[in-house]
């Protein structure tokens, strides 16, 4: 008797990365790039959501929390990031959805 296995969903990680590099990376600051890459690295398919705090991102990229907050706002205004839930005291970290290219 053989157990049926669910097929794995396609791994779109490289397609997302390639789309970001080819179409969205130009013109971003170092803090914006590093912030997007940290969120991309932490994002889990299929929704490509990452849970982390601005302070944690700042620590990981060697920038100030203010620089990361500014980068998050810029990425959101460019359509490269969607804030699903804002974190805070007693709420835990924020949840973000990364996007490789802005919506058309």
pLDDT, tens digit, 9 for 90 and up, residues 29-72: 999 999 999 999 999 989 999 999 999 999 999 999 999 999 99
Note the pLDDT of residue 57.
Answer: 98
Q: List CB contacts of 10: < 8 A, sequence separation 6 or more.
A: none
When the pLDDT of each residue in the chain is averaged and rounded to a whole number, the result is 92
| pTM for the structure as a whole | 0.86
For the domain made up of 30-98, give the CATH fold: Arc Repressor Mutant, subunit A (1.10.10)
**1 has a pLDDT exceeding 60:** no
Parse the chain into domains and list their residue ranges: 30-98
């Amino acid at each position: 008797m053989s157990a049926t296995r669910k097929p794995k969903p396609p791994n779109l990680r490289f397609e997302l990365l390639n789309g970001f590099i080819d179409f969205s990376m130009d013109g971003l600051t170092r803090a914006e790039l590093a912030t997007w890459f940290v969120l991309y690295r932490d994002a889990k398919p299929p929704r490509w959501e990452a849970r982390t705090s601005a302070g944690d991102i700042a620590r990981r990229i060697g920038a100030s929390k203010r620089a990361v907050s500014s980068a998050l706002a810029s990425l959101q205004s460019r359509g490269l990031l969607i804030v699903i839930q804002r974190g805070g005291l007693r709420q835990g970290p924020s949840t973000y959805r990364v996007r490789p290219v802005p919506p058309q």
